[in-house]
Amino acid sequence: MKTALITGATDGVGRVVAKRLAADGWRVLAHGRSVERGQSLVREIEGTGGKTAFLPADLASLAAVRQLAEDVQKQTDSLPLLINNAGIGTVGATPGRQVSVDGHELRFAVNYLAGFLLTHLVLPLVKASAPARIVNVSSAGQQAIDFADVMLTKGYSGMRAYCQSKLAQILFTIDLADELKDSGVTVNCLHPSTYMNTTMVRQSGTTPISSVETGADAILQLAVSPQLEGKSGLYFNVMNQARPNPQADDPKARAQLRTLSLELTRL
């Protein structure tokens, strides 16, 4: 039985993806923050004969990300699929600029840095499971990273913070795809759907215009479709390959982000 790790699997589109993969015979390692939602997902999946385990972690803490990676390694010695789906939107429960446990701007920390660190920590498992895939759930909302003020200490806005963190994911995807060339591991990213009916979208006060099922279809295409076999370093807008913000094509920007990320995560 193949094992998949999905972050942000207990709510929204991640929950739909987790249930679909489990129904297709995958063992799902489901990450989330809420123990209550995690346990209810386990009951749902196991109630239909699926295999799963819930792994709690708050991705606003790099120590918690490291613990999550350790928990994954205790659960499995094979990981042919990693889906970095967890994230926070343009606004949270508290408006205004917030910082993570480690003092980093919160959206950059949760939406990008946590996935960067987790991916690197479980990469030996993923490589050992080749052919394997990594999927980074990004967004069409993208804004060039200001390397002079990555943590947005000046002129902060939740939208800017969110869009910058989502573009960081795309730069990381392209960079990692280069690094993993000829390893049997592919890495791609996508905008799953616009304003899906998720907690994140409702928190922002926006009326949903698409479903989590549409988003799940798009994520699963990158995760399991034979059409994506061997394809890497790509960005998709829902089901179609697309061009991200031009900064993603800048090798200097990608190198700058990589250096900063390694420094912040102490890898």
Catalytic residues: 162
Task: Spell out where 107-226 has E strands.
Answer: 132-137, 185-191
Residue 4, SS3 per DSSP: strand
Residue 3, SS3 per DSSP: strand
- Residue 1 CB partners (closer than 8 Å, separation 6+): 25, 26, 27, 51
Torsion angle of the four alpha carbons 127, 133, 137, 139, in this order, in degrees rounded to the nearest 10: 110
Q: Which token pair is 159?
A: 């939208």
Q: What type of residue is 138?
A: S
- Residue 40 CB partners (closer than 8 Å, separation 6+): 10
Q: How far is residue 222's CA from residue 229's CA, in Å, rounded to a whole number?
A: 9
Q: How far is residue 9's CA from residue 28's CA, in Å, rounded to a whole number?
A: 9
Count CA atoms within 13 Å of residue 87 on its CB side: 30
Cβ contact 79:129 at 8 Å: yes
